[in-house]
């Protein structure tokens, strides 16, 4: 008998979740100064758990700390850093796709195919874009999870946080193409075909990088 491992949480963790969401949603925009006391007042907690949350966020690179001068939200990636991130994605996620094709459970293959086939319904443009981004992240996480490597999945998740910071500047079009690529990837993994899974992921990421890079042209 396995119980769902009841979740006890602390204020620090709650603040962390809230702050992380705020940064990812651009409620706190890149470059903004983060005032500890003001945040504590807004969230109606003391500064201590806020400091704890910020320390964790800094370790993940979402905020920067300047000693005796306060925290700021990490600035957006430069073109070079963005390319570096995609080099890492290619390295990590191609391996994840390969391992997923080799080691995923039948349930995982099924879920992956189902989720990759999902499409996002109407709503206003902003909400629709947010939903689509969330779905994209979810598909990639399913692959990472199916790779059966906890360390690999964690690394990928960490990268995606930085990717998410840029989503506002991604082009709204071409989402249908993304969806097609996801389905090819899911099919390859479902078919136990590592080579095809890896190359599908590679194609998908290379195309995604090209799609996103236009945002860096002024």
Partner DNA sequence: CCTTCGTAGATCCTATAGGATCTTTCCTGT
Partner DNA sequence: ACAGGAAAGATCCTATAGGATCTACGAAGG
Residue (1 or 151) nearer to its own copies, CB:
151
CB of 212 to its own copies, least distance (A): 16
DSSP one-letter code for 214? G
E-strand ranges in 48-112 read 63-66, 70-73
Among residues 97, 68, 52, the alpha carbon closest in space to that of 189 is found at 97
By the rule CB under 8 A, 4 interacts with its own copies: no
By the rule CB under 8 A, 60 interacts with its own copies: yes
38 makes contact, choosing from DNA, its own copies, none, with CB < 5 to 8 Å by partner type, with DNA
Structure tokens that stand for 10 in this block = 């602390």
165 makes contact, choosing from its own copies, DNA, none, with CB < 5 to 8 Å by partner type, with none
46 makes contact, choosing from DNA, its own copies, none, with CB < 5 to 8 Å by partner type, with DNA
Binding its own copies (rule: CB under 8 A), the pick from 133, 155, 183, 199 is 155
DSSP one-letter code for 113? H
Query: Within 10 A of 70 (CB to CB), how many other CB atoms are there?
Result: 13
Binding its own copies (rule: CB under 8 A), the pick from 12, 18, 45, 76 is 12
CB of 12 to DNA, least distance (A): 4
By the rule CB under 8 A, 9 interacts with its own copies: yes
32 makes contact, choosing from its own copies, DNA, none, with CB < 5 to 8 Å by partner type, with none
CA dihedral of 160, 130, 16, 215, whole degrees rounded to 10: 50
CB of 7 to its own copies, least distance (A): 9
Structure tokens that stand for 37 in this block = 């006391």
Residue (103 or 168) nearer to its own copies, CB:
103
Structure tokens that stand for 113 in this block = 């195919």
By the rule CB under 8 A, 37 interacts with its own copies: no
- Report how far residue 10's alpha carbon sits from residue 204's, in angstroms, rounded to the nearest whole number: 40
Cα maximum dimension of the chain: 59
Burial grade of 151 (CB within 10 A; 0-12, 13-18, 19 or more): exposed
By the rule CB under 8 A, 25 interacts with its own copies: no
- Report how far residue 138's alpha carbon sits from residue 116's, in angstroms, rounded to the nearest whole number: 9
DSSP one-letter code for 206? H
By the rule CB under 8 A, 67 interacts with its own copies: yes
By the rule CB under 8 A, 95 interacts with its own copies: yes
Binding footprint of its own copies on the chain (CB under 8 A): 8-10, 12-13, 48, 51-53, 55-56, 58-60, 67-68, 81, 84-85, 87-88, 91-92, 95, 149-152, 155, 159
């Amino acid at each position: 008998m396995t119980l769902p491992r009841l979740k006890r949480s602390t204020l620090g963790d709650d603040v962390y979740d809230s702050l992380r969401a705020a940064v990812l949603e651009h409620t706190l925009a890149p470059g903004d100064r983060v005032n500890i006391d003001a945040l504590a007042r807004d969230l109606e907690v003391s500064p201590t758990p806020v400091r704890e949350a910020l320390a964790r966020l800094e370790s993940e690179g979402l905020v920067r700390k300047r000693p005796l001068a306060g925290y700021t939200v990490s600035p957006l990636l430069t073109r070079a850093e963005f390319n570096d991130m995609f080099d890492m994605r290619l390295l990590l996620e191609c391996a994840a796709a390969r391992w997923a094709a080799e080691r995923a459970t039948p349930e995982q293959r099924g879920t992956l195919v189902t989720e990759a086939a999902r499409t996002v319904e109407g709503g206003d443009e902003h909400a629709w874009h947010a939903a689509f981004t969330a779905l994209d992240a979810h598909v990639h996480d399913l692959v990472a999870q199916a790779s059966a490597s906890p360390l690999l999945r964690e690394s990928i998740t960490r990268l995606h946080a930085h990717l998410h910071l840029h989503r506002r500047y991604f082009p709204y079009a071409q989402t249908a193409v993304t969806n097609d690529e996801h389905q090819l990837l899911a099919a390859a993994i479902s078919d136990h075909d590592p080579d095809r899974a890896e190359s599908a992921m590679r194609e998908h990421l290379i195309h995604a990088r090209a799609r996103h890079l236009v945002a860096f042209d002024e």
